[in-house]
Structure 1
Amino acid sequence: MAKPREPKELREGEVKVTYLTHACMELVLGKKRVIFDPWLKGPAFARGWWLLHEPPSDSLDRLCAADLIYISHMHSDHLSYPTLKILSERRPDIPIYVGDTSRPVFWYLDQSQVKLTNIKVVPFGVWQDIDEHLRFMILMDGVHPEMDTCIIVEYKGHKILNTVDCTRPNGGRLPQNVDLMMSDFAGGASGFPMTFYGGKYSDSWKAQFIKTERKKLLNYKAQLVTSLQPKIYCPFAGYFVEAHPSDRYIKETNVKNSPEDLNALINKHAPDIKTWTPKPGDVLDLGLALKDPKNSEAITNPSASAKIYKDSWDFDLYVDELNSAISSDIFKHQNWIPFYYKWAGFRNYNLVVRMIETDDDFEPLGNCYNYLVDFLDLSFPTKRPEREHSYVEIKNRIGVIRYVVLHGTLWDDLYIGFQNRISRSPDIYHHKFWNHFQTELPLCKPDWDQFLQDEARHTTR
């Protein structure tokens, strides 16, 4: 709310917002072009998420022509290395802005072999002036300040608020005079409960739980939007699909909210808010929409022949890359297990985990690793200890777990990517364990070169 600017009238075509896919929007603001969260190529979360919509054919050209890019957080449906690889080959010096989160957004950049040279980490709650008319401010999430961010873009006093995936954007302190608001809507971005088995986790229990949780999310998002009273609202950042054939069960089970349902709920409680359910290539002219929300020319749709939904995803290209980790030399030595978990650094917690390598159907593989980790003292027993303890069994697709281990990446690829199956006794959530492996792993990958050298010396002796 500092240094307010009075809104000035916008000319037709002066501010255009184009939906590309998922959470990726292009904003043309006067002479500047801004891109949000470009996920335009490949999967997210290992091989678990794939784009639902076909981006416009010139999306990569638009990305490379941007004046600046905002990336909200490190999850791979927002920070897409397959997309950034193409960008780095064409415009490595493009300014990319991220918030100053405790876990750096680009912590994996050096390992990714993506060469980007102009990443700007900015403090929260401070206006970043781009030109005399354009500025933006990155804000943290009140629930996940270590990772999630959102953004306010202001042009000639007109505010565009993008809350992205934030659960409580800026701790609930948001401006009321927003012209365009966009947020996530779908849900389904968690392994729970779809990947859990045993006990109460029947298909009928999961279906009822998902139905209840999605309704809660729908009502919460509608309440947030109606409380802020933006002139225009757009649900986005939820257009993904579990497209790989091996994830058919997840696709059928993980029912998501529809943008139409959320918009209908908003219209019911706040009929003055104009809602927009975007399709790839849709263009919102903010000036026209503000002058007359009912103006049919305020939103331009792509041609009737434009492809809306994807029907092919290059599965083999990306799955083969993951599976290449299976044959890595480190897995020829069983000592990789204590080396990896000591590197991970989680201990002094009364939890025993059994890790099982499996095929795509989560059937254990012969001659592959099936081992216990006792996180109380970080030991690796051959059987469960006799003391009272919590127990979690995790079946992991072999290509993904070995890729995660080899590169030292976060376990989001396994958990949010639906690449494992989990049972637990007792049936409780171990926040410390999951939070460590999903957000607090060391910033540098394990030193596998040193590991192999040590193993070679031991073999020689």
Structure 2
Amino acid sequence: MNVQLIGHATVLLKDKNFSMICDPWLKGDYVNNCTVWQYPPREFGIEKINKFKYMYISHDHEDHCNAETLKKINKNTPIFILKFKENRNLIRRLKEMKFKNITEVIAWKKHKIDKFTNITIFPSDQGFVDSSALIQYKDYAVYHGNDCILKLDTIKKISKLANIDIAFMPYAGFSGFPSSYEFDKKTKKRLAEKKKKEGLKSFYDAVKYLKPKKAVPAAGDLIIVGKGKAWINYFDRASPIEAIKKAPLSVKQKLIDMRPGDIYSRDKGIIKFKKKLKWKYNTSSQEKFYAQSYVKKEVERYNNWILNLKINNKNFNKLVLDFFTKALKKKNLSNLINYKLQIISENKIKNLKSILLIDIGRKKITELEKPTQNYTKKIIIDAFVLCRIIRHEILWGDAYCGLFMKLDRKPVNNYNLNFWRWFYGTDELLIDYKKYFTK
């Protein structure tokens, strides 16, 4: 069997009578916010890979569950996802696209797909809507880790399930932290270095305890494009090459650098798709990438799409208030007592503005005339970007990673995982948004 990295987290397992694709992103070059692009860009996509026997989708983020790709895939293709109560957004999306063969696999239970193939899916230890999978075909085992960060005890348990031939593993967290925060430069630099160092250590420890024959630093190679933004990409996270170079010797011998199109064969090792690399993991190469006319045109087109909504300020305020009122109806928010979220959303050109102070634990929302300093977390977001999120056309994570939001938190070291679980969970909220907009 051959294992091919198509790009980012998209991996194709293929044998004579077997094929399975993981996290298919085969069409389009960027995710929903258009500042975040696949890099290095894939060498080929849906025009070449449009038929496969099975599909595994780890979670509903656009770079793993790509809408434009899924539109082109046979709706009878068997899809395997984690059975998880918070996975409703993924199931909704797949059903809206008319997929007919969706199997929810119970966590940690080996699921027999056919005579030669099994899949075991593992939930995120952090409680996010994410998963990773161990795919076993005959005597071959592949671990698809995508974005799913796991505790070392979990990694050890997975290592006992199979002798893994190759593992595609997360090595660098992609988010807007600390780049999009209103911290001073010294604090930002310190937090960025800490984040990079911790990300690499987590990756090395995971490789050590998973014990694959080969491991690929994968799914962290997205970049942010835009004038003067290239520096951000390796400010708080490593490139795949840096992850390999800095690895301790015991781990480094297992690591391989795979680029889009490269194939791993148990017998032949790495089969390079291209000998000479056009795109490199450095600032100058990424600036050249953004300077391409088609990239700039797409960014401009996307920005125009964001603004292409008709809503007045009264309806906008009502929409935002109704959205977060429903978000507070979630149970078990007591662990966020005294956690106050300030949302500042406006668009001066269209005269839209809403400022809310949300006391999450007490489930109380106060509408404000002007911003306050009495908050735990502050999020500043364009009014139309927020509208697109509420309409399920952008995910919070996409807006955050693409620097479409500015944030602050008090104190600086007050990271609260419970907040992010609740906040990202609002992606699945369904409200009747159409009544707030005019055609």
Residue of structure 1 in register with 2:273 after alignment: 302
Query: Structure 1's 331 and 404: CA in aligned 2 closer, same or farther, altered over 3 A?
Result: farther
Structure 1 contact 42–83 (Cα < 8 Å) conserved: no
Partner of 1:372, secondary structure, is strand
Paired position in structure 1 for 2:30: 43
Within 5 Å, which residues of 2 pair with 1:114-129? 114-129=97-112
Listed one character per residue, the Cα deviations across residues 312-339 of structure 1 (whole Å, up to 9, x for unaligned) are 44223433333323x2468645433332
Superposition TM-score, scaled by structure 2 size: 0.81
1:174 is paired with a residue whose SS is helix
2:175 is matched with which residue: 190, 200, 211? 190
Q: Distance in 2 between matches of 1:250 and 1:113?
A: 39
Matched with 1:85 is 71
Q: CA deviation at 1:147?
A: 1.8
Query: Structure 2: which amino acid aligns with 1:340?
Result: F
- Asked if structure 2 preserves the Cα contact closer than 8 Å seen for 1:404 and 1:411, the reply is yes
SS in 2 for 1:86: coil
Q: Cα 1:319–1:83, aligned 2, differ >3 Å: closer, same or farther?
A: farther
Identity %: 20
SS of equivalent to 1:302: coil
CA contact (8 A) 1:352 1:384 kept: no
CA distance in 1 between partners of 2:319 and 2:351 (Å): 15
Specify the alignment match of 1:23 in structure 2: 9
Q: Is structure 2 residue 228 aligned with structure 1 residue 241?
A: no
Counterpart in 2 of 1:371? 355
1:373–1:108 distance in 2 versus 1, CA, 3 Å: farther
Which residue in 2 is equivalent to 1:423?
408
Tell me which amino acid in the other structure corresponds to 2:343. Answer: M
Q: Which amino acid aligns with 2:164?
A: V
Find the residue that maps to 1:77 and give its secondary structure: coil
Residue 234 and residue 425 in structure 1: after superposition, are their counterparts in 2 closer, same or farther (change >3 A)? closer
Distance 1:435 1:137 in 2: 24
Structure 2 unaligned spans of 5+: 281-288
- CA pair 32-251 structure 1, distance change in 2 beyond 3 A: same
Tell me, yes or no, if structure 1 residue 382 matches structure 2 residue 365: no
Distance 2:255 2:317 in 1: 56
Cα offset, 1:373, TM superposition: 2.9
Question: Tell me, what secondary structure is at the counterpart of 1:35?
Answer: strand
2:149 is matched with which residue?
167
Total equivalences in the alignment: 411
Q: 8 Å contact 1:48–1:417 — kept in the other structure?
A: yes
Cα distance, 1:329–1:69 mapped onto 2, change above 3 Å: farther
For 1:338, the equivalent position in structure 2 comes to: 321
* One-letter amino acid of the counterpart of residue 268, structure 1: L
1:149 pairs with 104, 112, 131, which one?
131
Residues 248-298 of structure 1 show CA distances to partners (whole Å, capped at 9, x for unaligned) of: 277367442122233344461246x44320111111112x14xxxxxxxx3
Query: Structure 2 matches for 1:155-234, cutoff 5 A?
Result: 155-168=137-150, 171-172=154-155, 173-175=157-159, 177-187=163-173, 189-197=174-182, 201-234=183-216
Q: Check 1:254–1:419 CA distance in 2 against 1; reply closer, same or farther (3 A cut).
A: farther
| 1:396–1:419 contact (8 Å) kept in structure 2 | yes
* Distance in 1 of aligned mates of 2:251 and 2:411: 44
The equivalent residue for 2:61 is 75
Q: Which has the larger radius of gyration?
A: 1
- How much has 1:44 moved relative to structure 2? 2.5
Match of 1:53 in 2: 40
2-side partners of 1:174 and 1:23: how far apart? 20
- Whether contact under 8 Å (1:407, 1:446) holds in the other structure is no
Aligned equivalents of 1:134, 1:426: Cα separation in 2: 49
Q: 1:316 aligns with which of 293, 300, 321?
A: 300
1:281 paired to 2:243 = no
SS at match of 1:275: coil
Cα 1:191–1:108 shift into 2, 3 Å: farther
Q: Tell me: CA distance 1:64–1:379, structure 2 relative to 1, closer, same or farther (3 Å).
A: same
Q: Is the 8 A contact 2:11 2:22 kept in 1?
A: yes
Deviations along 1:143-174, whole A, 9 cap, x unmatched? 33x52211111122222122222221682312
Q: Residues 56-106 of structure 1, C-alpha deviation per residue, up to 9 Å, x if partnerless? A: 22x21454211111111122221222322333xxx2222221111221164
Q: Root-mean-square deviation (CA), in Å?
A: 3.3
CA distance in 2: counterparts of 1:302 and 1:446, whole angstroms = 46
Q: Could you tell me whether the CA contact under 8 Å between 1:42 and 1:82 is conserved in 2?
A: no
Q: Offset at 1:20? A: 0.9
SS state at 2:366 partner: coil
Q: 1:307 Cα deviation (Å)?
A: 5.9
In 2, distance between residues paired with 1:103 and 1:186?
24
- Closer/same/farther in 2, CA of residues 356 and 315 from structure 1, 3 Å limit: same
- Mark the CA change 1:252 to 1:181 in structure 2 (over 3 Å): closer, same or farther: closer
Gaps of 5+ in 1: 1-14, 290-297, 454-461
Confirm or deny: 8 A CA contact 1:231 1:274 kept in the other structure.
yes
CA–CA distance in structure 2, aligned partners of residues 152 and 281 of structure 1: 22
Within 1, Cα distance between the matches of 2:397 and 2:63?
A: 11
Q: Which residue of 2 aligns with 1:295?
A: none
User: CA 1:217–1:334 in structure 2 vs 1: closer, same or farther (change >3 Å)?
Assistant: closer
Separation in structure 1 between the aligned mates of residue 167 and residue 200 of structure 2, nearest angstrom? 16
Equivalent residue in structure 1 for 2:398, among 413, 420, 427: 413
Decide whether the 8 Å contact of 2:179 with 2:232 is kept in 1: no
Hey, what's the Cα distance between the residues in 2 that align with 1:185 and 1:215? 10
Following superposition, the deviation at residue 224 of structure 1 comes to: 1.9
SS at match of 1:251: helix
Contact 2:4 2:13 in 1 (8 A): yes
Distance 1:249 1:353, change over 3 A: farther
In the alignment, the residues of structure 2 paired with residue 32 and residue 82 of structure 1 have an alpha-carbon distance, to the nearest angstrom, of 24
